[in-house]
Homo-oligomer: A and B are copies of this chain.
């Protein structure tokens, strides 16, 4: 979920100075138009890691926009007036009216996260709180509110670097708050439950935007642009159908550094090493699959990737290792008539493996947010809601013993072209290449965006995406096998939460 926000995004000062004035002007315009129309309020929720620049960015927004139309509310300790009323009352009383913007710091999410991290509530109660938040937001959206939810993120490394830097400087060490010290200690927990609540409350009508916080220029521009685009879309929509997803865009990175760009595609494996490692990983997998602990687990491996990235070959290296009675490979193509008569996920549910078994999906339920999105086979509303439906699906699986491993096999454009041409030339490979492959290739950039969104929105502790650098087939195959093995071993040794 936080993958894209740990890449080290950066915008240099020159670029910032070039982009900022226009953005600022447009934001002001949008703000005045919001006031003029007075059809709906804007509510901005600010959450995330301490020290990721939440305060600085809000300060900047306040400077950029007209402060008369924006109100920053922070909810730290309850006042005595608030203490004697239901906890929601403090939020209601400070909701922004139509035409205005409210920024909520330390909102309901902070409350539930802190309570859970400190162990004051258990996970079921935490989920109850998340559900209450979802219901509240749904109602606000139904009533017209345009909601933005920002999660300011720092990787663990970035956070420690920041703290070390500050504390070594006597003039600035006061900037590290006591709360921050504490959070540094519980970072893993905080991020784990943060991910859980983001997964549960990111809905099409009120999605979360995860912003990498370490570089101020990048962070500020990203937040400002997200707000601007979301507001402009909502202001333009004549009579926004109330329960429709608000038209805020999914984030696409400002510095053009996506997850896929961050991969080191030069990784490879010699023939020699490949042979040894492959044999050893295959043996390891065979052993794990027949382990007695497998009786309480099943294995579900999902393959997605660029055309010609080598999914078939990788799958074969997995299945070679194991007893044919214990696995099934499901190739996902056009749905059958029977499948068309059912909800979208039905065709995948039917192949969920029993305990002790493995199912490999060659293409998966992510079709909806990849090909169906890019090709326009379904409406935007459909693929937007698919992210949370998929999360629910995967949570059902993993909370009942299914070990879920998801692969994106990535190759670069040149490699793909080369492989396409090879396929056209070699007789027995010719069936593998069609006009459609060339057509898909023309939409390369759109697929890159779709893949980035997919990973950001559906990679989580319970259902992690593994990006596989697949320019070198040998490297890819071994990485796939090793990842599966590691996932199984982790599942076998994991304790219940």
- Taking Cβ atoms with an 8 Å cutoff, the residues of A that contact B are 38, 41, 81, 84-89, 92-93, 95, 97-99, 122, 124-125, 127-128, 131-132, 135-136, 139-140, 142-145, 242-243, 298, 338, 340-346, 349-350, 352-356, 381-382, 385, 388-389, 392, 396-397, 399-402
Closest chain B residue, CB of each to CB of A357: B84
Residues of B within 8 A of A140 (CB): 343
Most chain B CB within a 10 A radius of its CB, from A85, A89, A392, A396: A85
Residues of B within 8 A of A124 (CB): 122, 124-125, 127-128
Asked if A86 and B127 sit within 8 Å, CB to CB, the answer is: no
Asked if B139 and A98 sit within 8 Å, CB to CB, the answer is: no
Copies of this chain in its oligomeric complex: 2
Closest chain B residue, CB of each to CB of A243: B243
Closest chain B residue, CB of each to CB of A127: B128
Tell which of B143, B342, B397 touches A97, judged by Cβ atoms closer than 8 Å. Answer: B342
Complex CA gap A167/B114 in Å reads: 56
Asked if B392 and A135 sit within 8 Å, CB to CB, the answer is: yes
Tell which of B87, B127, B340, B350 touches A93, judged by Cβ atoms closer than 8 Å. Answer: B350
**Given A122-B124, A124-B124, A142-B385: A343 and B85 within 8 A (CB)?**
no
Tell which of B98, B131, B142, B343 touches A143, judged by Cβ atoms closer than 8 Å. Answer: B343
Asked if B99 and A341 sit within 8 Å, CB to CB, the answer is: yes
Residues of B within 8 A of A354 (CB): 81, 84-85
Closest chain B residue, CB of each to CB of A144: B343
**Given A92-B346, A93-B349, A142-B385: A397 and B341 within 8 A (CB)?**
no
Complex CA gap A396/B89 in Å reads: 9
Residues of B within 8 A of A345 (CB): 92, 139
Residues of B within 8 A of A343 (CB): 95, 139-140, 143-145
Most chain B CB within a 10 A radius of its CB, from A122, A136, A139, A402: A139
Asked if B346 and A95 sit within 8 Å, CB to CB, the answer is: yes
Residues of B within 8 A of A85 (CB): 298, 352-355, 400
Residues of B within 8 A of A397 (CB): 86
Asked if A89 and B142 sit within 8 Å, CB to CB, the answer is: no
Residues of B within 8 A of A81 (CB): 354
Residues of B within 8 A of A243 (CB): 243, 381
Return A270 CB to nearest CB of chain B, in Å: 42
**Given A139-B343, A341-B99: A396 and B86 within 8 A (CB)?**
yes
Extra pairs beyond A85-B298, A143-B343, A243-B381 (13, CB < 8 Å): A38-B341, A41-B341, A85-B353, A92-B346, A92-B349, A92-B350, A93-B350, A97-B338, A136-B392, A139-B385, A139-B392, A142-B382, A142-B385
**Given A128-B127, A145-B343: A87 and B349 within 8 A (CB)?**
no
Complex CA gap A243/B242 in Å reads: 11
Asked if B352 and A143 sit within 8 Å, CB to CB, the answer is: no
**Given A92-B350, A142-B385, A346-B92: A400 and B86 within 8 A (CB)?**
yes
Return A231 CB to nearest CB of chain B, in Å: 17
Asked if A389 and B84 sit within 8 Å, CB to CB, the answer is: no
Asked if A139 and B396 sit within 8 Å, CB to CB, the answer is: no
Residues of B within 8 A of A143 (CB): 343-344
Complex CA gap A388/B131 in Å reads: 14
Q: List 12 A-B contacts (CB under 8 A).
A: A84-B298, A84-B354, A85-B298, A87-B400, A92-B350, A93-B350, A95-B342, A97-B338, A131-B131, A136-B392, A139-B389, A243-B381
Return A271 CB to nearest CB of chain B, in Å: 41
Complex CA gap A242/B385 in Å reads: 12
**Given A86-B402, A355-B84: A341 and B92 within 8 A (CB)?**
no
Residues of B within 8 A of A125 (CB): 124
Complex CA gap A471/B103 in Å reads: 51
Complex CA gap A93/B350 in Å reads: 6
Asked if A352 and B128 sit within 8 Å, CB to CB, the answer is: no
